[in-house]
Structure 1
Amino acid sequence: MDNILQKHRIFVEGKADQVFIRDMLKLFYDISLNEEQLPQIIININGKDRLHKFVPTLQEINNGKRNGGNNLVIFDSDYYEIDSGIETRQSWLEGLKSELGIKFQCFLFTDKKEKEGTIESLLETCIHPEHKGIFSCWEGFEQCVKGVSEKYTIPAKKSKIYLYLECLHGPTKKEKDKIKDPNRDFLEEGIWNFDVINNPLLNELKIFLDKHLS
């Protein structure tokens, strides 16, 4: 799997995604990326609508710079309520391939049940069993807010994951800094449970990576 450093590029939407995929490469394949390698191999494009800005890198598999390599795009499906969902996102990405003359394999984060979702949909299934009570409290909070007024917006799942991490880290600035996207350690024991065998969503990601990072 070491040839990932020479042949393959992974494109993600944000810093949290970049750090997560970095840690999954370590977990699944014992591949470690240093600070210099990380932005070269797992490319944070800072939002799905900026993929077109990376056409030169995407086209390297066509011009001989990365013979036999793959471009992997790992994005959120997002939600139907904002005119997205897995089918809409897939269609949009296929259109980009034709429009920009690029090739890539795509994996979309989704909860599968509703065919919509984000990376947080996957992370929610990977929390440590010991701390599931934190999410029970969040669900109570959601119900409370809904009961106060329908005009209130329920915070996004990103906030839910942030709350989970904040509850598990200490009050010092050093501990709070661990919660920020660039500083997260998804391999930290006692916080996450990446059980590929018993987690269908995580297993789908691994199957995708197994197939395209060979």
Structure 2
Amino acid sequence: MRKIKIYVEGVADAKLIQDLIFEWYQEQMIFDQSGKNGLANILITNGKTKLEKFKPLFKLNSDNDILSIVIFDADIFSEENDKFIELKKDFSIEYFLLPDNQSNGDLETLLAKIINQDNDVIFKCWEGYENCLKTSVRKDGVFTTPARKTKIYAYLEALLGESNSEKDLIKERERNYRNTNHWDLNSPALTKLKQFLDQYFQNKS
């Protein structure tokens, strides 16, 4: 069985990929900052700008018959895709760009699409809050619309209780994407990612 190392940008990405792989393939992966835990097979790069320093690891992995898989934000898909096409000329890697390996976007784009639709009212309320800020004027300018990461935090905060242990589950490292009350891992928005991972995990023995 060929070993796999998955490279992601941040903790939130790592936790989602860990939960998806366990849910879909019943395989437990370990994630951590790259270099901190020698047993980790999901490695956090702390952003795509740090990818350059991982090139020696891609070569080392290839030399040791370890497959390197990079799962990063697309942001502007055409630009990132072109970068990885060039990278694949020099290194044996496979890659997937969130949300669906063909569209502009990122992790938060994907997460917004895989919430349990019973909770969609939370996003509707949030959109009302954003629209209120956009159309309101302050004395010294305009209000800043909160980052989309904040929307995901607010979504979970609205669903979880008020104890410290429950509030901890909002944190990126502690989120439970397998909680069907919060997330839908059968969402069509995950189809492309599952098809990609199926190549490397389905029927592994």
Identify the TM-score tier after normalising by the shorter chain.
0.7 to 0.9
Residues 1:192 and 2:183 aligned together = yes
Point out the more displaced range, 85-94 or 157-166: 85-94
CA contact under 8 A between 2:31 and 2:42: conserved in structure 1? Answer: no
TM-score (norm 2): 0.85
Q: What TM-score results when the alignment is normalised by the length of structure 1?
A: 0.82
Matched, 1:75 2:66: no
Report how far residue 10 of structure 1 moved: 0.7
Measured against aligned partners, the alpha-carbon deviations of 1:15-50 in whole angstroms (never above 9, x if no partner) come to 010011000001110112357889621111111111
Task: State the distance in 2 between where 1:112 and 1:54 align.
Answer: 21
Counterpart in the other structure of 2:91 = 102
2:168 and 2:44 map into 1 onto residues whose CA distance is 20
How many angstroms apart in 1 are the aligned matches of 2:177 and 2:132? 30
SS of structure 1 residue aligned to 2:162: coil
> Aligned partners of 1:39 and 1:89: how far apart in 2?
29
Partner SS, residue 182 of structure 1: coil
The structure 2 residue matched to 1:14, chosen from 10, 17, 29, is 10
Q: Which residue of 2 aligns with 1:57?
A: 57
Give the residue type in structure 1 aligned to 2:46: N
Relative to structure 2, which stretch is displaced further, 48-57 or 135-144?
A: 48-57
1:29 and 1:208 mapped to 2: Cα distance? Answer: 13
State yes or no: 1:135 paired with 2:129: no
- Please point out which of 176, 184, 188 is paired with 2:167: 176
Residue identity opposite 1:41 in structure 2: N
Distance 1:39-1:48 versus aligned 2 partners, 3 A rule: farther
Gaps of 5+ in 2: none
CA–CA separation in structure 1 for the residues paired with 2:38 and 2:174: 13
CA–CA distance in structure 2, aligned partners of residues 210 and 93 of structure 1: 20
Give CA deviations for 1:130-159 in whole Å, capped at 9, x if unaligned: 211000001111111111148333222211
Q: Secondary structure at the match of 1:183?
A: coil
Correspondence 1:117 to 2:108? no
- What is residue 82 of structure 1 aligned with on the other side? none
1:207 to 191, 195, 202: 195
CA separation of 1:183 and 1:210: change in aligned 2, threshold 3 A = same
CA contact (8 A) 2:99 2:110 kept: yes
Q: CA-atom RMSD, angstroms?
A: 2.4
% identical equivalent positions = 34
Contact 1:120 1:157 (C-alpha < 8 Å) held by counterparts: yes
Mapped contact 2:15–2:31 kept (Cα < 8 A): no
Deviations along 1:105-133, whole A, 9 cap, x unmatched? Answer: 111113789x3111111111111122110
1:170-212 superposed Cα distances (whole Å, 9 cap, x missing partner): 112211111111111111231111115xx1x200000011124
Q: Distance in 2 between matches of 1:129 and 1:39?
A: 36
Q: Which has the higher strand share?
A: 2
Q: Which amino acid aligns with 2:47?
A: G
Number of residues of Structure 1 aligned to a counterpart in Structure 2? 195
More deviation, 10-19/148-157: 148-157
